[in-house]
């Protein structure tokens, strides 16, 4: 019921910024919680941040608090991840996710995008 396509990844210097976008299709998008995960080479996939259907509640992993911001525009059927003060350890493939329950967005999302590469040079 939900299809997700990420964009906006690329190569940036440490301290720089990127904004990732995730375009969603499917009639139930506005009712889904949305989130972002990332996976670095040799590492397990980890939760980054999530947002509920209204855009009024957020949940961030400790390692991105104060640097990353999640937002959504339901009219455009898009969720964003603004990443500031990027560090080399942020280098990873970033995946968009959707889930019917905000409580479980960080553990078992129902849908995944294909991922977009973010590389931060030092």
Does residue 105 carry a pLDDT above 70? yes
pLDDT at 2: 86
pLDDT band for 27, please (50, 70, 90 cuts): low
Place of tokens 């339901």: 74
Instruction: For residue 103, report the phi and psi dihedrals to the nearest 5 degrees.
Output: -60, -35
Number of neighbours of residue 93 by Cβ within 10 angstroms: 18
Please state the three-class secondary structure of 84-98 as a single string: CCCCHHHCEEEEEEE
- pLDDT above 70 for 108: yes
Mean of the per-residue pLDDT values for the chain?
Answer: 93
Q: Could you report the per-residue pLDDT of 33-92, keeping only the tens digit for each?
A: 999 999 999 999 999 999 998 888 999 999 998 999 999 998 898 999 999 999 999 999
What count of residues does the chain have? 122
Q: How far apart are CA 79 and CA 56, in angstroms?
A: 13
**Helix (H/G/I), strand (E/B), else coil: 87:** coil
């Amino acid at each position: 019921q939900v299809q997700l396509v990420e964009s906006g990844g690329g190569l940036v210097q440490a301290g720089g910024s990127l904004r990732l976008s995730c375009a969603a299709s499917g009639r139930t998008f506005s009712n889904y919680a949305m989130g972002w995960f990332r996976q670095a080479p040799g590492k397990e996939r980890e939760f980054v941040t999530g947002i509920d259907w209204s855009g009024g509640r957020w949940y961030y992993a400790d390692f991105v608090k104060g640097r990353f911001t999640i937002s959504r525009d339901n009219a455009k059927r898009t969720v964003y991840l603004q990443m500031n003060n990027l560090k080399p350890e942020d280098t990873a493939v970033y995946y968009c996710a959707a889930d019917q329950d905000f409580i479980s967005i960080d553990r078992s999302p129902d849908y995944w995008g294909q991922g977009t590469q973010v590389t931060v040079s030092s």
